[in-house]
Amino acid sequence: MAPLLAIVGAVLGFVAGWMFCRSRPTLAEGSLVPAAQPAQPVPSFADVLEDHPAGVVVCDASGAVRFRNAAARSLRGTHAGVLIDEAIERHLSEARRGIFSDEAIELYGPPKTVVMVEARPLPDGGAVGFVHDISEQRRVEQVRTDFVANLSHELKTPIGALSVLAETLEEETDPVTITRVVGRMMGEAERASRTIDDLMQLSRIELGGERGVEAVRVADVIRSAVGRVTEIAARRDIHISSLGSASVEQADDSIIVEGDRRQLVSAVGNLVENAVKYSEEGGLVEVRADRDGDWLEVAVVDQGVGIPQRDLRRIFERFYRVDPARSRGTGGTGLGLSIVHHVATNHGGEVTVSSVEGEGSTFTLRLPLLATTPVDPLTDQTPTEYTNRHVDRHIEGVA
Amino acid sequence: MPEHGDLRDRFHGGVDQLRNDIARLGASVIELIPRVTEILLQQDLEGAEYVLQGDDEIDARSIQIEERALTMLALQAPMAGDLRQVAAVLKLAPEIERSADLCCNLCKAARRIYGHSLDPKLRGGIQRMSDQAHQEYKEAIEAYLANDAVRAAALRDMDDYLDDLHRQFIAQIFESHAAGTIDLQVAVQLAVVARFFERLGDHAVNISHRVIYISTGWLPQHDAAKRLLDRQDDAATVGDQGGS
């Protein structure tokens, strides 16, 4: 028995010794003194926390702040920083008493932001507090719930009207009334179909398929877009000046973007149409195209009713309406600006808005220029490195 | 028996805490301005109620800060810059508390114009005044936080712009009333609303004066006092010459 125990003991001793030897380099790695690879120092725990996008504040058992990372320091000296600090302090003191606590704080900004402040107790009696910006998360949640509610509303209204009108028709014998009701039914059907058409267009643009990539003269785009609304504008005595800066006509040959002509016309057309719809009679709508470095800027400026500040961030959402009663009256589907937004994103650009209620709005569509020198779109010459990069990206996007 | 250094540290800790509390009170007013404007423009009665209730807390905090500043004056007898810091706290707390009251008044005005729609030009005017007042307040409090007299000195020019906006808005009230988009009652309420924003700007300017005072010991009133003294001197000289 004894020799057997001795052998087992020897084996165990050997294994333990081997593990101890093995464990030493591991410990060394763990204690951040890497011996094997001095070229790549492992960052310390504090370094990792320092660069973390969330704000992190650690206090000791007495409540004195021991650590504050870069994100938590970044707001110092601003009123938002003061308010967030106050909240952190409050929650840290709760956490030191062993209570997990958190709170969402809305800051009016601008821009409006929502931050989540939470604190957790630490084993040594101190506490750690975290601050994250949850504005985007909140916004997405809001968009999602509003979208479903608005979609049902947009489709249910004409369908409900159709059903009521059909009921009226069932018992009606007077030919005049029948003609009137049928006319209204057609109008409602058209409205529902417009909404569905726009939704389908939007989803096509979003998917990015069916998009032709060609060099497009901006002046042509603006001309077609303005052409679509001349009639409505004339009826309301609204003057559209697409030559305000003269640059559109003079520099037209040199301002070229690459993308889908139809989508671009649709985007600029939607902006001009909105400008006309929300202008007062006799107003002025200006469409300007200008170069800003490697970018094209198409600005559509009106002097209409304008957009309230709180709605500015949300107007590019599907079906979002500033004043539901008014905008449904203008016959829009509530998808126009959403389409503009997606066309812009698809082309590697963006659309922005600035507005003051009662003074008018300015929508600016920014797109990357194909070339800053005149190019013959047919021969497709002088693709610079910059434009190549963009073409590549778009082709990838299509594939 | 604590060392001198300890006492001094404790005193400065106390001043820092007071400054911090003033900054917090100011920051809550900075947030209140856009909030009450939204309440006013959206006719959000529930929001108005909430703000009105929250005012008690601001009042309580303001009075606490004042009392602590008084205690500090009585027990520590600070000098020079320290004295100005504590004295400024005594002036700033009621200034900010009064600004919060103006925000409450805006909420009450929102209740009074409830149910009346405002045309886009009036709404735009309110938004512009609010943005400017908000910007001024933010600038004043952040200048205080940074102890930055130069930044504070810009407030006067900023406030001139708010005064312009105020005048333009009053003209717009007349125009809208003449066009029949608002009745007389609403017109009067809006004139009062404009006044509240303008007053908020004035409070921001007062705060900025205190920021300058903390660093330099100078207030605009000093110039006025000097002018008065000069005039009195001149009058005395003329009187003497007349008598002789």
pLDDT of residue A1: 43
| A77 interfaces chain B, CB cutoff of 8 Å | yes
The single-letter DSSP state of residue A316 is T
Note whether ipTM > 0.85 here: no
Distance separating alpha carbons of residues A380 and A358, to the nearest angstrom: 45
* CATH code of the domain occupying A45-133: 3.30.450.20
SS (H, E, C) B127-190: HHHHHHHHHHHHHHHHHHHHCCHHHHHCHHHHHHHHHHHHHHHHHHHHHHHHHCCCCHHHHHHH
Of residues B124, B170, B37, B179, the one with CA closest to residue A361: B124
pLDDT of residue A236: 87
Contacts of A309 in chain B (CB under 8 A): 127, 131
Q: How far is CA B122 from CA A45, A54, A305, B193, in A?
A: 55, 41, 11, 11
pLDDT of residue A326: 58
Question: CA of B136 to nearest chain A CA: how many angstroms apart?
Answer: 12
Distance separating alpha carbons of residues B186 and B118, to the nearest angstrom: 9
pLDDT of residue B4: 63
**B130-156: average pLDDT:** 93
Q: What angle do CA B178, B183, B184 make, to 5 degrees?
A: 90
| Dihedral, A136, A339, A307, B41 alpha carbons, nearest 10 | -50
Query: In tens digits, what is the pLDDT along chain A, a chain of 399 residues?
Result: 444 444 444 444 443 444 433 444 443 344 444 445 556 777 788 888 888 888 999 998 888 888 888 888 888 888 888 899 889 989 998 888 888 888 998 888 777 889 999 999 988 888 999 999 998 898 889 888 888 888 888 888 889 999 999 998 888 888 898 999 999 999 889 888 888 888 888 888 888 765 678 888 888 888 888 888 888 888 888 888 875 444 455 555 667 888 888 888 989 999 999 899 888 888 899 898 888 888 888 899 999 888 988 888 888 988 888 876 655 566 678 888 999 999 998 888 999 999 988 889 999 999 888 754 444 444 444 433 333 333 333 333 333
pLDDT of residue B28: 93
Sheet holding A55-59: strands in order across?
A65-68, A55-59, A127-133, A113-121, A101-107
Could you say which architecture CATH assigns to the domain A137-207? Answer: Orthogonal Bundle (1.10)
pLDDT of residue B197: 96
Burial B78-114 (b: 16+ CB within 10 A, else e): beeebebbbbbbbbbbebbbebbebbbbbbebbeebe
For chain B, give the number of residues. 244
| A359 interfaces chain B, CB cutoff of 8 Å | yes
Say whether pLDDT at B38 is over 70. Answer: yes
Q: How far is CA A226 from CA A54, A220, A276, A301, A369, in A?
A: 47, 10, 10, 13, 21
Secondary-structure breakdown of chain B: helix, strand, coil percentages, each rounded to the nearest 5: 90, 0, 10
Q: How far is CA B25 from CA A25, B59, B153, B177, B215, in A?
A: 54, 10, 21, 38, 21
Kindly determine whether residue A310 and residue B142, on different chains, have CB atoms separated by under 8 Å. Answer: no
Peptide linkage before A111 cis (omega within 30 of 0): yes
| Digit-coded pLDDT (tens) for B59-92 | 999 999 999 999 988 888 788 888 888 999 999 9
State the alpha helices, DSSP H only, in chain A. Answer: 2-30, 45-50, 70-73, 79-96, 135-171, 175-207, 218-235, 247-250, 261-277, 309-312, 324-329, 336-346, 385-398
List the single residue in B26, B31, B127 with the smallest CB-CB distance to A309: B127
Q: Which residue has the higher pLDDT, A36 or B33?
A: B33
List the single residue in A78, A109, A358 with the smallest CB-CB distance to B120: A358
pLDDT of residue B243: 53
| B27 interfaces chain A, CB cutoff of 8 Å | yes
Say whether pLDDT at B195 is over 90. Answer: yes
Q: How many CA atoms, within 13 angstroms, populate the side-chain half-sphere of residue A371?
A: 18
| B54 interfaces chain A, CB cutoff of 8 Å | no
Kindly determine whether residue B127 and residue A79, on different chains, have CB atoms separated by under 8 Å. Answer: no
Q: Which residue has the higher pLDDT, B242 or B55?
A: B55
Distance separating alpha carbons of residues A358 and A307, to the nearest angstrom: 8
Reading the block at residue A226, the tokens are 């303005």
Distance separating alpha carbons of residues A266 and A222, to the nearest angstrom: 10
Question: CA of B1 to nearest chain A CA: how many angstroms apart?
Answer: 22
CB distance A71 to A105 below 8 Å: no
Topology classification of domain B4-220: Methane Monooxygenase Hydroxylase; Chain G, domain 1 (1.20.58)
Domain range list for chain B:
4-220
- Classify the C-alpha dihedral B3-B7-B12-B16 as positive or negative: positive
Reading the block at residue B110, the tokens are 């929102």
pLDDT of residue A25: 41
CB atoms within 10 A of CB A172: 14
Domain range list for chain A:
45-133, 137-207, 209-398
Mean pLDDT of chain B: 90
pLDDT of residue A254: 64
Peptide linkage before A324 cis (omega within 30 of 0): no
Reading the block at residue B6, the tokens are 């300890």
Distance separating alpha carbons of residues A386 and A353, to the nearest angstrom: 27
Q: Which CATH superfamily is domain A209-398 in?
A: Histidine kinase-like ATPase, C-terminal domain (3.30.565.10)
pLDDT of residue B108: 94
Q: Which residues contact A229 (CB under 8 A, 6 or more apart)?
A: A240, A269, A272, A273, A276
| Digit-coded pLDDT (tens) for B173-194 | 999 999 888 899 999 999 999 9
The single-letter DSSP state of residue A288 is E
DSSP string, B204-229: HHHHHHHHHHHHHS--HHHHHHHHHH
Burial A322-332 (b: 16+ CB within 10 A, else e): beeeebbeeeb
Q: How many CA atoms, within 13 angstroms, populate the side-chain half-sphere of residue A173?
A: 0
Distance separating alpha carbons of residues B179 and A153, to the nearest angstrom: 35
Question: CA of A15 to nearest chain B CA: how many angstroms apart?
Answer: 58
pLDDT of residue A249: 52
| A78 interfaces chain B, CB cutoff of 8 Å | yes
| Dihedral, B47, B48, B49, B52 alpha carbons, nearest 10 | 120
Estimate the crossing angle of helix A336-346 against helix A261-277, to 10 degrees.
Answer: 140
